[in-house]
Structure 1
Amino acid sequence: MAYAVIARYHCTAEDEAIVRAALLKTREHTRAEPANEVYEVHAVADEPGGFLLYERYADRAGFEAHKAAEHFRELITETVWPLLTDRSVTFAEVL
C-alpha cells in the first residue's frame, strides 16, 4: 500500500536559500530511490521561508529506507532541520 508524507517546513528569510538548496538536492537523491514514487518540493505562496513537501513511497518500508539514507541524514537531519522555526509532518496511507 502506498505511503504518503506531507511536510510543512518554515525557516527565517536568512536561511531560506540554504533550506531551498538542500531540499532540491534531497529531491534529486530521493527520486532515485527504488521505492520513491513522488517527491515534490513547493515554496508556499505568500509565506516567505515556507516550504511544503509531498512524498509518496511504494510502502512504509520504502519511506523508512529513505529516512535511513545517507543523503537524508546529511541534507535533512543535519542541514535543514536545525534551521527550521516550525515543522509539521503528516503520514498517510493511500486508500
Structure 2
Amino acid sequence: MAYAVVAHYRCAPADADTVRAALLRAREATRAEPANLRYEVHAVADEPGGFLLYECYDDAAGFAAHKAAPHFQEEIVEAVWPLLTERSVTFADVL
C-alpha cells in the first residue's frame, strides 16, 4: 500500500520566491528517490506565501528514507522551515 504525505506551508509573501525555489529543487531531487512515486508542489492560488505539497511513496519506510536524504535536510529543514509561519502535515495510506 502506498503512503501519501500532504504538507501545507505558509510563509510571509516576501519569502515566497525563496521558499518556492527551495521546494522546486527538493522536488527534482525527491523524484529521483527509488521509493518516490509522486512529488507535487503547488502555490495556493488565493494565498500569497501559501504552498501545498503532495507526496507519495512506496510505503512509510520510503518516506523515512526521504527525510534522511541530504537534500531534505538542505532544502526543507535548513532553507524552507526557518521561513515558515505555519506548517501542517497529514499522513495517509493510499487506498
Give the TM-score band, short-chain normalised: over 0.9
The reply on whether 1:8 has 2:8 as its aligned counterpart is yes
Counterpart of 1:91, as a letter, is F
Cα separation, 2, equivalents of 1:78 and 1:94: 29
Structure 1 residues not aligned, in runs of 5+: none
- The structural deviation recorded for 1:33 is 0.2
CA shift, 1:13, in A, is 1.1
> 1:4-43 maps to which residues of 2 (within 5 A)?
4-43=4-43
Alignment of 1:1-95 (within 5 A): 1-95=1-95
Identity fraction in percent: 74
CA RMSD between the two structures: 0.4
Structure 1 distance, partners of 2:39, 2:94, is 15
* Structure 2 CA distance for aligned equivalents of residues 59 and 21 of structure 1: 27
Structure 2: segments with no counterpart, 5+ residues: none
Looking at structure 2, the residues matched to 94 and 46 of structure 1 have their Cα atoms a distance apart, in angstroms, of: 28
Report the secondary structure of 2:8's partner residue: strand
Give, in angstroms, the shift of residue 14 of structure 1.
Answer: 1.2
Residues in 1 aligned to 2:94 and 2:37: alpha-carbon distance in whole angstroms: 13
What letter is aligned with 2:92?
A: A
Q: Displaced runs of 4+ in structure 1, greater than 2 A?
A: none
Q: Taking structure 1 as the reference length, what is the TM-score of the superposition?
A: 0.99
